[in-house]
Amino acid sequence: MAIPVSPTPRRLAARCVGNRCAPAMKRIAIKGVLAVTAALPASGWAQPSAVAPALPEIRFAINTDTTTSMPGNVLRNTFTDEILANVVESLVALKSDLSVAPMLADSWDISPDGKQYTFHLRHGVLFHNGTPFTSADVKWSYDYFMKPQSGYVCRGNYDGHRGPKVLAVTTPDPYTVVFELDRPSALFLTHMTEPRCPLAVLSPASLDKNGAWLKPVGTGPFVFSEWKQGQYVLLKPFAQYQSRTEPPSGLAGAKHPRANVRFVAIPDEAAQVSALMSGQIDEMNISENNLPPADPHWHVIAGPGADPAAVLMQTHDPLLADVRIRRAIALAVDLPGVVNAVSGGLARYNSSLTADAEAFYTPGDAVGYKQDLPEVKRLLAAAGYAGQPLTLETNRRYPHMYSTAVYMQSLLSQAGINAKLQVVEWGTQVNDYRSGHFQLMSFGYSTRIEPALMYGDVLGDKSKNPMVQWENPKARALLRSIDGVTDPAARKQVFEQLHQMMMDDVPMIVLYDSPDLTLASNRLQGVTTWPLRLKRFSNVTKN
């Protein structure tokens, strides 16, 4: 089902214009940062093999502490994912274009019927406690995650509820592991890499003798070293980490840990900015509406995101049930201009649910709506539109949603469409979205790791699930037709067809993919962005 845009670090923004509030922010930030970093208590979790005493420390601001140290646990939050992406690894990993690449598996074979995946594992990989990684650890990890008491939130990807059912996991030898499925699935590998619940490979040492969770003992470039709950998490480089040799890309390729990394909890974005200005932190996520002034001590790193921002249309509404009115709305506005204004030039218009940073993106996905006021006038007349009001719902919690609504309302009114703005609390808007009680809505979705998942969330039957936005049986059948198709070219062609069908039906107007923005001290080198926003600290140095 569709999930409202989640509170990510860059979106939980306390408003501050320029540096006029910097003095107040600075006092708050200094107090907050010193409170969580002045004392570094000893921890039984420190790994002797991972410590390089002279290494610098990179301090990264997070809005709130992680709620668990277990990957994919029901208690996890965005910051759990951010931290553990540097600690644990899966058999495969996502590259910057969200395609799948090797990680703990060097290669894999798929049987002709698509029901058997045979992974050939890397040699020489060690866990953080020094024990060697083998196929037995893959099976142990899978079995652990599949136990209900583990609290793993993505069991449905493997037990037949949201994908194929894994019938068996076997280990013919220490460096081969085989997954047997009940049916083919094009997303089986992709699900292994899902940021909120990766199928991480862990050492049994992650549990105590009674089977209770202790901490993640993984194979990643950083060791989960110290956790002062409510204050910080400290990661230390794993001295025996065996890096891959491919160029770094997303969470794939070469990873070289160069510094200790401390995730510092500072709830307010304005306070984070002030802490970075004063040198107390080195890096943070930031929203496009709260960028600080240019300065030789820091810089903004911008990259493409994959969170689609959109204007939703309630196709069960008496007015909007007419596709001619929906199309008139799409053609009434200079959409590239709106995107440029809302994002401050940091994003570009993308009308497709396939993010333009993805490997599946095609020239066909780049075809969007072009403003055509004479056609708008013709469509409205043909539909018998007589100035009936349409309400565009938004909120002030997420500035980009509010700004989008303001621009859209103004431009629609200029084109002869009587649009009224309604500003509500974010909780109210979420409830209206979930119940389908709206006409127009400025909204956003969180990233999906494959276009099939995004289209699957918006396609459906509103009578069964009011959160779906697009009711088209032919489109649903087309999407289902590639459930077991692993050929990227075939999948790309279907996604392009779905985009054109959605453009014709106009159940929503997709505007752009929210950019991934990082504010970083100039003392850091090697900081990069990627569409899934998780910050990678491998290959990052601090002088």
Q: Verify that 511 and 526 share a domain, yes or no.
A: no
How far apart are the C-alpha atoms of 316 and 43, rounded to whole Å?
58
Asked, for residue 259, whether it belongs to a domain, the answer is yes
431: in domain? yes
441 is a domain residue: yes
Q: Which residues of 418-443 are buried (b: 16+ CB within 10 A; e: fewer)?
A: ebebbebebeebeebbeebebbbbbb
Q: What is the count of structural domains for the chain?
A: 3
pLDDT at residue number 44: 36
* Separation between Cα atoms, residue 444 and residue 321, nearest integer Å: 22
Look up the pTM and report it: 0.83
Residue 347 and residue 341 in contact, taking contact as beta carbons nearer than 8 Å: no
Domain end marker among 175, 192, 209:
192
Proportion of the chain in helix, strand, coil states, percent, rounded to 5: 25, 25, 50
- The answer to whether residues 374 and 428 belong to one domain is yes
> Do 140 and 39 fall into the same domain?
no
Q: Are residues 271 and 419 in the same domain?
A: no
Same domain, 268 and 329: no
β-partners of residue 444 are: 309
If asked whether residues 498 and 398 sit together in one domain, one would say: yes
Q: What is the CATH number of the domain that holds 120?
A: 3.90.76.10
pLDDT of residue 276: 96
- Tell whether 36 and 180 lie within a shared domain: no
Is 250 within 8 Å of 100 (Cβ atoms)? no
Per-residue pLDDT of the chain (543 residues; tens, 9 = 90+): 333 333 333 333 333 323 333 333 333 333 334 344 433 333 334 444 555 457 999 999 999 999 999 999 999 999 999 999 999 999 999 999 999 999 999 999 999 999 999 999 999 999 999 999 999 999 999 999 999 999 999 999 999 998 899 999 999 999 999 999 999 999 999 999 999 999 999 999 999 999 999 999 999 999 999 999 999 999 999 999 999 999 999 999 999 999 999 999 999 999 999 999 999 999 999 987 788 888 999 999 999 999 999 999 999 999 999 999 999 999 999 999 999 999 989 999 999 999 999 999 999 999 999 999 999 999 999 999 999 999 999 999 999 999 999 999 999 999 999 999 999 999 999 999 999 999 999 999 988 899 999 999 999 999 999 999 999 999 999 999 999 999 999 999 999 999 999 999 999 999 999 999 999 999 999 999 989 888 999 999 999
Q: What are phi and psi of 214, to 5 degrees?
A: -105, -65
Same domain (yes/no): 116, 143: yes
Using left for φ > 0, alpha for ψ between -120 and 50, and beta otherwise, residue 52 falls in beta
- CATH at 45: 3.40.190.10
Token reading at 488: 């990227």
The CATH number assigned to the domain holding 339 equals: 3.10.105.10
Tell me if 452 is assigned to some domain: yes
DSSP character at residue 525: E
Residue 215 lies in a domain: no
- Residue 333: both structure tokens together: 């506005």
From 192, 211, 228, give the residue that closes a domain: 192
A 10 A CB-CB count for 190 gives 21
- Token pair of 512, please? 């752009």
Domain, as residue range, for 507? 304-515
Same structural domain for residues 443 and 493?
Answer: yes
Is 146 a member of any domain? yes
- 309 and 292 belong to one structural domain: no
Q: Is residue 202 part of a domain?
A: no
Three-state secondary structure call for residue 286: coil
- State the maximum Cα–Cα separation within the chain, in Å, rounded to a whole number: 75
Distance CA(120)–CA(430), nearest Å, equals: 45
Kindly state whether residues 388 and 489 are assigned to the same domain.
yes
> Is 8 within 8 Å of 78 (Cβ atoms)?
yes
Contact 519, 292 (CB under 8 A): yes
Residue 197 lies in a domain: no
Q: DSSP string covering 97-151, please? A: TS-EEESSEEEEEE-TTS-EEEEEEPSS-B-TTSPBP-HHHHHHHHHHHHSGGG-
Asked if residue 529 and residue 501 are part of one domain, the reply reads no
pLDDT at position 9: 35
